[in-house]
Amino acid sequence: MESLEVERMESLNEKNSLLVEDIGSGVLVLTINSPRTLNALDGQILQDLKGAFGVCAKDPKVRVVLLTGKGKAFVAGADISALSDFTPEQAAGFSRNGCELFDLMEKIPQPIVAVINGFALGGGLELALACDFRFAAEGAKLGLPEILLGIIPGFGGTQRLVSVAGASRAREMIFTGRRLDAAEALACGLVDRVLPAERLLDESKAFAMELATRSQSALAQAKWVLNSTRNLSLQEGLMLENQAFSRCFEHKDSREGIRAFLEKRKPEFGKP
């Protein structure tokens, strides 16, 4: 990847609250960098993340994104200090602002892996839920503790947690605010892999590198169809799958992948 995109992201990010690293092969590592407040999501971080994912959306050189946090937290939630004087109207605007970011993350063509290095609480867990994969360190803690503040999740947690971990688990986590450890999160499907802390980033990078060798156009279609059919009937979902399957054949990757199989060689997938 040329460094131009990284520079563009960095120029959107004057306060350095989001670190952007290009590790090659089209893999970007975004690190939320506000460890003093456990990477709590304030307006600046939300804006930086929107800027960075907005750049990714338009840049076919980016193939996979890893998202992690600096220090002992992935993200410990929305910035509680910002919530203290909210009117109901301001609360609605704040919630919409977060939801816009998470919608964008689901809409960009690239897969995003949440690399959960520590606490993923409240808005931090909601952020991870908007990613395609969640890999967690053994000591990570995940939860939606909003109820303990007298509020509820407002960045999509009531919706995405149900589809990832089921309604019963979501109800229990949202009603009690209880934090799960990584093993429990793995058991209920909330995270995909649990790794020792010292191997978390390297193994996540290796996974991203593997994904980066796949057909980018087919991955984009797969992400689109999985994310856009969640609340549809089976028949409606199958219609969208049909469209996405057909679109794969507009791209030369499908010819290359199929031909490579028949010729008993590895495919060389290009750009969309």
Contact residues toward ligand COA (CB under 6 A) are: 37-38, 40, 76-81, 119, 121-123, 145-146, 149
Q: Report the side by side order of strands in the sheet with 27-32.
A: 18-22, 27-32, 64-69, 112-116, 133-137, 193-195
Could you confirm whether 146 is annotated as catalytic? yes
Annotated catalytic residue, options 5, 14, 100, 126: 126
- Which CB atom, from 27 or from 120, has the smaller least distance to ligand COA? 120
* Helix, strand, coil content of the chain in percent (nearest 5): 50, 15, 30
* CB closer to ligand COA, 77 vs 257: 77
Q: Are the CB atoms for 22 and 73 separated by under 8 Å?
A: no
Provide, rounded to whole angstroms, the least separation between the CB of residue 259 and ligand COA.
51
Q: Which residues fall within 8 angstroms of residue 266, CB to CB, at 6 or more apart?
A: 260
Q: How far is the CB of 81 from ligand COA (least distance, A)?
A: 5
Q: Side chain identity at 182, as an amino acid letter? A: A
CA distances in angstroms from 18 to 25, 44, 111, 217, listed in the order given = 21, 9, 19, 27
Looking at beta carbons only, is 121 or 173 nearer to ligand COA?
A: 121
- Choice between 88 and 233, CB closer to ligand COA: 88
Q: Among residues 21, 146, 250, 256, which one is catalytic?
A: 146
Of 132, 107, 57, 50, whose CA–CA distance to 224 is shortest?
107
* Structure tokens given for 182: 């990584």
Structure tokens at 102: 């998470």
Listed residue (115, 79, 99, 143) closest to 200, CA to CA: 115
**Cα 44 to chain centroid, rounded:** 18
Cβ within 8 Å of residue 261, ≥6 positions away: 267
| Active site amino acids | 126, 146
